[in-house]
Amino acid sequence: MATFFRRMAIRYIFLTLFFSADIGFLGRVTSFGINYGQVANNLPSPNKVLELFSNLKVTKTRIYDTNPEILSAFAKSNVEVIVTVENQMLIQLNDPQQALQWVNGHIKPYLPDTKITGIQVGNELFTNGDTTLIQYLVPAVVNIHNALVQLGIDSNIHVSTPSSLEVLQESYPPSAGSFKNEISGIMSQFLSFLSTTKAPFWINAYPYFAYKDDPSRIPLDYVLFNPNEGMVDPNTNLHYDNMLYAQVDAVTFAIARLNFSGIEVRVSETGWPSKGDLNEVGATLQNAQTYNRNLLRRQMANEGTPLSPRMRLEAYFFALFNEDMKTGATSERNYGLFQPDETMTYNVGLAAFASSSTSSTSISLTSSATNTKQAASKEFQSLFFWVFVCLLTSALCGFV
């Protein structure tokens, strides 16, 4: 165990040194992303959605299919789009020729006018109710990537898949993060693919669910990004003031336990419902507003997690609209930042982008990024000192 943490510490030092270099990583404004779901019968047209994105200066979105109307409408815009292969398509894409045909028909026709930057192969396959699908994941991602290479359109498009936090056997403290034993074999193959292609590991992370299931033990302020005491990981001494960052770092540790490094963890979905059933504790408009507003502020400040403070955590809010045709609990239909008529469900601060000029917004956000960079520099110095002391102490005591 001590050897594992020593290896993680060394990797962390090199990553931190790399991102501390003056390469402008934190000096540029980076947009947040919003998931654009379509399980509704009353949504505005894709052209209207693009207009909404433009007004809000949103430049990243993810859709749950390859809807031709959306991909066509977003052509010649500055919005980057991540598309999704539906779960039921995986068996078909195990055939390399079928994968090539799929890319030729669903991706290539929209390039380069539409900025397709990612292909998500399935959704939450590792924990999907149909356990037979997972065996097709790795062949499908390999075949789609090879098809992109064959067509010469792979340079700006990553291939991956989003997973739920249920892939983890342990998540607390973050340093104990590990994947479930029953999926470790396929997970290792998938991580090998990500490592080879330099693609990110995407996670759907919802602190709301953890709070709903155990509200008496989990502080609400901790999950809402409000000021709170937080928690300290006893193995790394890293302090966490919110659950989302702890969840992300738990995934990073789980990846490291399978002997992979350098794979960036990104959040494909996170959000909070504004309405729920009587047994859905915490599903209120006020909590939804607080969670998303606080996360938006951190996104605009280019924050990283405690394990990787200099590497901005990329996160996609769920979701753009309330979707009235979703089944299940009331909360499922009430994650939207906006109503279908394009009015805000609640104000998280997005209106400020619509009312500000591009230049003034850029200046404001760049200033925030600069402050974060200065703060992160201090954190880097203290963390470097702590890691050095930890390793020295361990060596002297014969633990490593």
Q: At residue 288, does pLDDT exceed 60?
A: yes
The tokens for 175 are: 């340093």
The pLDDT of residue 173 is 98
Which residues are catalytically annotated?
124, 269
CA–CA distance, 204 with 53 (Å, rounded to integer): 22
* pLDDT tens-digit map of 39-78: 999 999 999 999 999 999 999 999 999 999 999 999 999 9
Contacts 24+ apart (CB under 8 A), 274-280: 274/334, 274/335, 274/336, 274/345, 274/346, 275/330, 275/331, 275/334, 276/329, 276/330, 276/331, 276/334, 277/329, 277/330, 277/331, 280/212, 280/329, 280/330, 280/331
**Which ranges of the chain would DSSP assign to H, the alpha helix?**
2-20, 46-56, 68-73, 96-106, 137-151, 184-197, 207-213, 220-223, 243-257, 285-300, 351-355, 358-397
Confidence of residue 393 (pLDDT cuts 50, 70, 90): very low
The pLDDT of residue 316 is 98
Could you tell me which of 69, 75, 64 has the C-alpha nearest to residue 34? Answer: 64
Average pLDDT, the chain: 86
Is the distance from CB of 116 to CB of 81 less than 8 angstroms?
yes
* pLDDT tens-digit map of 324-366: 999 999 999 999 999 999 999 999 988 776 655 443 332 222 2
Q: At residue 226, does pLDDT exceed 90?
A: yes
pTM: 0.84
* pLDDT tens-digit map of 131-190: 889 999 999 999 999 999 999 999 999 999 999 999 999 999 999 999 999 999 999 999
The pLDDT of residue 344 is 96
Q: Which residue has the higher pLDDT, 73 or 384?
A: 73
The pLDDT of residue 130 is 80
The pLDDT of residue 30 is 59
Q: At residue 220, does pLDDT exceed 60?
A: yes
The pLDDT of residue 8 is 62
* pLDDT tens-digit map of 255-272: 999 999 999 999 999 999
